[in-house]
Chain A
Amino acid sequence: MNSDNPRQDILDAATQRRLQRLRSMPIDTGGVVQRFDALLEEAASPPTVGRVEAGAAGQGADAAPGVPAAPGRGHWRRYPVHWWRPIGGIAAAVVLMAVIAVTLLAPRPGAVEAAPSDVAQLHRALISGEVDAHIRAASDMSQANDHLRSDWPTGLRYAAAPRVPDPAMGRVLSCCVHRLEDRPVASVLMDVDGRIVSVMVAHNTHLRAPRDGQVVEHRGYRFSIHRVNGTELLMVEHGDRWVGLVSDEAPRDVLLALGVRMLASGDGPAAPRS
């Protein structure tokens, strides 16, 4: 280290020491030792069935830099006949066809109203990290959308992950895909001027805004607004998306401003699955 910036050196040293501590993490090697011994035993047994030249396999040995290529060319190695493989293949094909059939025949979930209390509860779970989902750190909306796309459930009934529009304000903190009313929802936790806001996006074929809430028209967009135990909620259906904005800290006008910026950002309705 020893850069020109002593503060940076202190931060780096602390980071390095925390990483160093991972080296003393207890690691259970029982399984890999057992596998190693089994491999060695197998490596010691003479070839029994058939034989092939191992040239191609030997080339994949990936020796360290500066060392000669791996042995293998011209060596004899075992060529076992796995009689069960064709049967395994047929079984796998049958299972695959069954899965495809079930997926095709499964009814697509219809749209249900997103209950404000459930949305508020979910927002609090996202903040506390007590949500049954893999929360991923993200530093901007583009990275968050990449994570959401890869974590989005697969299957014909889900379509591709809806893109979370970038409001070009605030800071993205983390994201995750979770469920609301058993429908997948893409969520991004943001810091908007020091206030935590959850942005949730789902397909409007899955979720829709409640019909009984107060409706506010702002800059040409109609927002359904709710308040649950001090949590401010705002929902809107736009294009093929349902968007929810939730915060315990940000006032309604901040959420409205955020909502308008998102809807006006011109992001496409849904990102193709990569």
Chain B
Amino acid sequence: MESPQLSPQQQQRARELIRPRLELLRRTALMLTRHEHDADDLVQETVVKAMRAIDSFQQGSDEKAWLLTILRRAHIDRLRAAGRRVSAVSLDAAEGLDLPAEDEPAAGVHDGQWHEPEAMMQQFADAEVIAALRDLPPDICWTLLLVDVEGLDHAQAAAVLGIPKGTVKSRSHRGRAMLRDRLHATGRRLGFFKAGEQP
């Protein structure tokens, strides 16, 4: 991807807007991709796109949300380019509808087995949580990344995702339950949950 030509003022803005948020971009990219080099490519693509759109950033807007919007779109483009099926919920015409993904069963089916949720959650390593997160449908994964990992409020996350605030709320709730199901499967393997325990 070619770097854009920037005037000295635009360069200064890029330095102020983008550079301090490279950690945020790389952290998010690392959670979305499996390999570090893919994450770095995604960050670079985001940075180039942000540089090109530097004049479109309105003073006083949320820089974090602006950059994450660009990162999300760059990520969708990459998924599409790689021929991945992008979840039916969020990314196309159905954007804004709060429907469960076609192949997603009811979430939270193992919730009864989280006897001490706080302590049990802390048993999982970061890598295991990230793997479970990455395994979620992209729209759900993005919602949790924005709301729970990055701490965006529902309005900010809604702006990034281009969906209503209420949808962000319900997706966060469903997403957490889906994440618990995936962590439960990992936890079973690691012996955190007893075999034979009923949900």
Count, chain A residues at interface, CB 8 A: 75
Is A260 engaged at the interface, CB distance under 8 Å to the other chain?
Answer: no
Convert B162-181 into 0s and 1s, putting 1 for each residue whose CB lies closer than 8 angstroms to a CB of A: 10000000000100110111
Choose among B4, B6, B11, B129 the residue that contacts A54 (Cβ–Cβ < 8 A). Answer: B4
Residues of A within 8 A of B173 (CB): 1, 3, 12
Choose among B43, B49, B73, B135 the residue that contacts A137 (Cβ–Cβ < 8 A). Answer: B135
Residues of B within 8 A of A148 (CB): none
Is B38 engaged at the interface, CB distance under 8 Å to the other chain?
Answer: no
Residues of B within 8 A of A15 (CB): 117, 121, 148, 176, 179-180
Choose among A8, A25, A62, A128 the residue that contacts B74 (Cβ–Cβ < 8 A). Answer: A62
Q: Can you name 21 A-B pairs with beta carbons within 8 Å?
A: A7-B111, A12-B176, A17-B118, A17-B121, A21-B126, A22-B130, A27-B23, A28-B26, A29-B26, A43-B11, A60-B52, A61-B49, A61-B56, A70-B56, A78-B5, A128-B189, A139-B104, A139-B182, A146-B103, A193-B196, A249-B195
Most chain B beta carbons < 10 A, residue from A40, A47, A80 = A40
Most chain B beta carbons < 10 A, residue from A15, A23, A36 = A15
Which applies to chain A's interface (DSSP): helix, strand, loop or mixed?
mixed
Known: A25-B126, A194-B196. A42 touches B3 (CB 8 A): yes
Cβ-defined contact, B114 with A47, below 8 A: no
Cβ-defined contact, B22 with A36, below 8 A: yes
Cβ-defined contact, B121 with A62, below 8 A: no
Interface size class of B (residues with CB under 8 A): 35 or more
User: What is the CB-to-nearest-CB distance from B13 to chain A, in angstroms, rounded to a whole number?
Assistant: 11
Interface residues of B (CB under 8 A from A): 2-6, 8, 10-11, 14-15, 18-19, 22-23, 25-27, 30-31, 40, 43-44, 47-49, 51-58, 61, 65-66, 69-70, 73-74, 103-105, 108-109, 111, 114, 117-118, 120-122, 124, 126, 129-133, 135, 144, 148-151, 159-160, 162, 173, 176-177, 179-182, 185-186, 188-190, 195-198
Convert A130-146 into 0s and 1s, putting 1 for each residue whose CB lies closer than 8 angstroms to a CB of B: 00000111111011001
Cβ-defined contact, A32 with B26, below 8 A: yes
Cβ-defined contact, B196 with A174, below 8 A: no
Cβ-defined contact, B176 with A22, below 8 A: no
Cβ-defined contact, A39 with B58, below 8 A: no
Is A87 engaged at the interface, CB distance under 8 Å to the other chain?
Answer: no
Residues of B within 8 A of A65 (CB): 69, 159, 162
- Cβ-closest 8 pairs across A and B: A194-B196, A14-B117, A19-B148, A61-B53, A70-B53, A137-B185, A18-B121, A63-B56
User: What is the CB-to-nearest-CB distance from A5 to chain B, in angstroms, rounded to a whole number?
Assistant: 10
Residues of B within 8 A of A16 (CB): 148, 176
What CA separation (Å) do A196 and B187 show in the bound complex? Answer: 13
Residues of A within 8 A of B57 (CB): 63-64, 67
Choose among B129, B179, B185 the residue that contacts A173 (Cβ–Cβ < 8 A). Answer: B185
Which applies to chain B's interface (DSSP): helix, strand, loop or mixed?
helix
Residues of B within 8 A of A135 (CB): 189
Cβ-defined contact, B49 with A62, below 8 A: yes
Name the residue on A nearest B114 (C-beta): A11
Known: A54-B4, A195-B196. A36 touches B53 (CB 8 A): no
Choose among A64, A72, A194, A196 the residue that contacts B197 (Cβ–Cβ < 8 A). Answer: A194
User: What is the CB-to-nearest-CB distance from B195 to chain A, in angstroms, rounded to a whole number?
Assistant: 6
User: What is the CB-to-nearest-CB distance from A96 to chain B, in angstroms, rounded to a whole number?
Assistant: 19
Choose among A11, A13, A64, A129 the residue that contacts B69 (Cβ–Cβ < 8 A). Answer: A64
What CA separation (Å) do A62 and B77 show in the bound complex? Answer: 11
Name the residue on B nearest A15 (C-beta): B176
Cβ-defined contact, B55 with A71, below 8 A: yes
Residues of B within 8 A of A36 (CB): 18-19, 22, 47
What CA separation (Å) do A43 and B27 show in the bound complex? Answer: 25
Is A10 engaged at the interface, CB distance under 8 Å to the other chain?
Answer: yes
Residues of A within 8 A of B3 (CB): 39-40, 42-43, 78
Is A74 engaged at the interface, CB distance under 8 Å to the other chain?
Answer: no
Cβ-defined contact, A63 with B53, below 8 A: yes
What CA separation (Å) do A173 and B30 show in the bound complex? Answer: 25
Residues of A within 8 A of B121 (CB): 14-15, 17-18
Known: A11-B176, A19-B148. A72 touches B4 (CB 8 A): yes
What CA separation (Å) do A8 and B173 show in the bound complex? Answer: 9
A residues 162-178 in Cβ contact with B at 8 Å: 173-174
